[in-house]
Structures are given as structure tokens and as C-alpha cells.
Amino acid sequence: MKIGELARRTGTTTKTIRYYEDIGLLPEPARTRNGYRDYGDEAVDRLSFIRDAQATGLSLTEIDSILDLRSRGETTCEHVTELLGRHLAALDDHIERLQTTRSKLAELTERANRLDPAACSDPIRCQTISHDLADSDLSVNIHAAPAGHPH
């Protein structure tokens, strides 16, 4: 099958398929006489696996490590379990930081609701967001990505 058909069957773009070939996630296919890529059904299976693995949060590097083990005939269950465990721990950590941030924002909102706007005399700084907030790690918590999860 040609690259367009492979893309349609897997819900992937042709650009993504070429990229996966470039980085070695997808083996270079055979070529027809006129130079078109000619994929077999195994490419559909492999792309489906890559998409499923990405949906769990695994990176392309991690997916490549799984495919590499498989290509050498090794089992992957233990490796996959370890990878998923790391992602789960990072997600739990990120949720904890988000819950802390949410609590701080709730406190700040309560404070803002109690303040009198007429009492605000600083031309630069809103009294709701004071130096107390700058001393906290609120902005780090809001914008931090989960550990080990590049975005």
C-alpha cells in the first residue's frame, strides 16, 4: 500500500509516517519501480501500536526502546510496566502540586473578595497580588510540567 493509504488506515499523516521512518520508529519500506513507498500490513500494526503507546503518555524514545526490545526477540512487559510506573508517579506528583496550587489560588481569591478596591494605592501592583505571592512557589506550580514528561 502507498503512504496515503497507510495514513488513512491508521489515522496518521503522511508527514508523521515519514518522520517515524527518519527517526527509525518505522522501518524504511520497500519501493515500487517508480520510487513510491510500498508498505505491508505490518506497518499498520506498528503505527497502531505507536499511537496506542503515545496515548498512554509514553514518549517516542520510550516507544522506540520497546520496539527495539521486541525486534531482538525480548519480552517487553517488565520494561513497559516500569515505564508506565514512572509516568504514573510523575503524574501523581504533578497532581499533588496542582492541588497545592489550587488551594493557594482559592485562598488568594478569598482574600481578593475581602479587600476594598478603594484601599488600593499602589499604582503598579494590585493589592490582591502582593509580594507575599511572589515569595511563594505558586507560579512554578501552575506552569510546571510533570517530571520526566517533556512538553
Closest CA to 107 of 70, 143, 136: 136
Q: Which residue has the cell 520494561?
A: 79
Report pLDDT for 129. 76
- Global pTM? 0.71
Q: Which residue has the cell 515519514?
A: 18
CA–CA gap between residue 70 and residue 76 (Å, rounded):
7
pLDDT in tens, the chain (151 residues): 999 999 999 999 999 999 999 999 999 999 999 999 999 999 999 999 999 999 999 999 999 999 999 999 999 999 999 999 999 999 999 999 999 999 999 988 888 888 888 887 777 777 777 655 545 555 544 454 554 544 4
CB under 8 Å to 148, separation ≥6 — which residues?
86, 87, 90
Cβ atoms of residues 29 and 39 within 8 Å: yes
Instruction: Indicate the domain borders of the chain.
Output: 3-71, 94-143
CB under 8 Å to 82, separation ≥6 — which residues?
none
CB under 8 Å to 18, separation ≥6 — which residues?
3
State the distance between the two ends of the chain, measured CA to CA, in whole angstroms: 33
Residue 117 is given by DSSP the state: G
CATH topology of domain 3-71: Multidrug-efflux Transporter Regulator; Chain: A; Domain 2 (1.10.1660)
Report pLDDT for 150. 45
Supply 6's cell numbers: 497507510
Closest CA to 44 of 60, 69, 78, 20: 20
Residue 38, exposed/middle/buried by CB under 10 A (0-12, 13-18, 19+)?
middle
Report pLDDT for 133. 53
